[in-house]
């Protein structure tokens, strides 16, 4: 059986994205742009295989329809499978650049630039700082520009196809939340519950599976004041509280969700925090509209929650989509980012109040023409598992 390409989107979608980047390049008079960011590579090509632990980069050329992807030769077949680039657009570099203190895969990228006609023109770089030094040293005639953030800005507004991918991820997210409510019981080891919930995330729902496992956190009593522990070597008890953060993943796209579960009746303090946070959540969603800012949404959340006696120190969300957090806008007071239709955010209301007490709830939403649309269907409950 031959390897037949199966990219996650049609070629026209990737060309639309590449063209948007090329417009940004034209504004800075760049004939080439080099990015080694895993998420940007996925955005521009569809490639999501996990080879980014060695150098690899996509080069967008102003005079070419499609980018060129330079990666370790061992990983080139995955690039042929997951992208539309074809053999002309995928360059596998030799194994002597791996585990070699003198040269690495970025030298192959530099060789490619040196061999093409960009070496004396403007080149945008979004690579680690040490690699950037090597580009400058080895291509002294080129004018290099740091383009960190340029592709991220392009990515902020999603296409319909991307939104659909996030909806698929969200359906899997919902199935995993449902599974959590089934398996979280006194006497169950945390790892056993995690195994069942993670299995649901992988196998997905309604015939659509995750294509990789996204981040997963299960922080149970007495660790509900922690935020990023996958799970612990511990057994759930009657009365335990369990804070979960998870997401399905479709070709890199996620729709994350946090929910809080109690193995019994919720204590009064937890119930009060939940009520205040849900009020804040609804106020935040109601504040979403094109033309408003991320800061406006945050203001709505913090005002409503604080009016009910709950203070949250951390930001209340961030831009989300490909490979989870997108490192552009934050939902926090003063963030000036103006909302546009089809921007997507994780309204993240995890609140780690004391060392041993925290509460979590969140929604993933997209900005619509007039408001917010939540991309998952899980109820906004404090789940009491009796």
Place of tokens 């309204």: 347
Rg (CA), the chain: 23
Q: How far apart are CA 30 and CA 218, in angstroms?
A: 45
Q: How far is the CB of 279 from a copy of itself (least distance, A)?
A: 21
- Pair 235, 188: CB distance under 8 Å: yes
- Pair 226, 358: CB distance under 8 Å: yes
Mode of pairing for the β-strands spanning 57-61 and 32-35: antiparallel
Select 288 or 348, whichever has its Cβ closest to a copy of itself.
Answer: 348
Select 187 or 379, whichever has its Cβ closest to a copy of itself.
Answer: 187
Select 188 or 289, whichever has its Cβ closest to a copy of itself.
Answer: 188
Select 352 or 365, whichever has its Cβ closest to a copy of itself.
Answer: 352
Q: Taking the chain, what is the end-to-end CA distance rounded to the nearest angstrom?
A: 52
Q: How far is the CB of 196 from a copy of itself (least distance, A)?
A: 7
Give the DSSP per-residue string, 320-353.
EEBTEEEEEEE-STT--PBP-TTBEEEEE--EEE
Select 231 or 383, whichever has its Cβ closest to a copy of itself.
Answer: 231
Q: How far is the CB of 31 from a copy of itself (least distance, A)?
A: 25
Select 73 or 167, whichever has its Cβ closest to a copy of itself.
Answer: 73
Select 62 or 237, whichever has its Cβ closest to a copy of itself.
Answer: 237
Token duo for residue 146:
């740091």
Q: How far is the CB of 107 from a copy of itself (least distance, A)?
A: 17
Q: How far is the CB of 121 from a copy of itself (least distance, A)?
A: 25
Q: How far is the CB of 143 from a copy of itself (least distance, A)?
A: 20
Q: How far apart are CA 323 and CA 239, in angstroms?
A: 34
Q: How far is the CB of 309 from a copy of itself (least distance, A)?
A: 20
CA distances from 19 to 16, 41, 123, 331, 351 (A): 5, 15, 16, 29, 40
Token duo for residue 313:
């120190």
Contacts to a copy of itself by CB under 8 A: 1-4, 6, 49-51, 53, 73-78, 80-82, 94-95, 98-99, 128-130, 133, 189, 191-192, 194-196, 198-200, 202-204, 209-213, 215-217, 221-223, 225-233, 313-315, 318, 325, 330, 332, 335, 350, 352, 355-356
């Amino acid at each position: 059986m031959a390897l037949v390409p199966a990219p996650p989107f049609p070629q026209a979608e990737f060309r639309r994205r590449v063209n948007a980047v090329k417009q940004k390049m034209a504004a800075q008079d760049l004939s080439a742009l080099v990015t080694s960011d895993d998420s940007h590579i996925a955005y521009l090509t569809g490639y999501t295989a996990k080879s980014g632990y060695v150098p690899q980069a996509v080069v967008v050329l102003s005079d070419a329809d499609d980018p060129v992807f330079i990666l370790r030769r061992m990983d080139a077949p995955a690039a042929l499978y997951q992208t539309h680039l074809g053999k002309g657009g995928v360059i596998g570099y030799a194994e002597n650049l791996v585990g070699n203190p003198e040269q690495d895969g970025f030298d192959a990228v530099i060789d490619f630039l040196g061999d093409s006609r960009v070496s004396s023109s403007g080149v945008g770089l979004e690579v680690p700082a040490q690699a950037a030094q090597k580009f400058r040293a080895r291509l002294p005639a080129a004018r290099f520009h740091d383009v960190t953030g340029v592709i991220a800005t392009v990515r902020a507004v999603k296409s319909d196809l991307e939104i659909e991918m996030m909806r698929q991820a969200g359906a899997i997210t919902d199935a995993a939340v449902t599974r959590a409510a089934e398996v979280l019981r006194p006497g169950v080891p945390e790892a056993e519950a995690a195994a069942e919930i993670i299995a649901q995330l992988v196998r997905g729902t309604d015939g659509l599976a995750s294509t990789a496992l996204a981040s997963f956190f299960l922080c149970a009593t007495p660790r509900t004041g922690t935020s990023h522990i996958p799970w612990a070597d511990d057994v759930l008890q009657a009365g335990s509280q369990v804070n979960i953060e998870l997401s399905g993943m479709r070709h890199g796209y996620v729709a994350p969700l946090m929910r809080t579960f109690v193995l019994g009746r919720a204590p009064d303090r937890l119930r009060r925090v939940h009520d205040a946070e849900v009020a804040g959540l609804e106020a935040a969603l109601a504040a979403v509209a094109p033309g408003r800012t991320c800061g406006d949404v945050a203001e709505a959340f913090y005002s409503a929650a604080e009016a009910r006696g709950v203070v949250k120190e951390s930001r209340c969300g961030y831009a989300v989509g490909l490979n989870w957090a997108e490192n552009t806008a934050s939902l926090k007071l003063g963030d000036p980012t103006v909302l546009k239709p089809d921007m997507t955010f994780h309204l993240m209301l995890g609140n780690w109040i004391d060392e041993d007490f925290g509460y979590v709830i969140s929604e993933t939403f997209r900005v619509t023409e007039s408001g917010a649309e939540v991309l998952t269907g899980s109820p906004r409950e404090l789940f009491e598992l009796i």
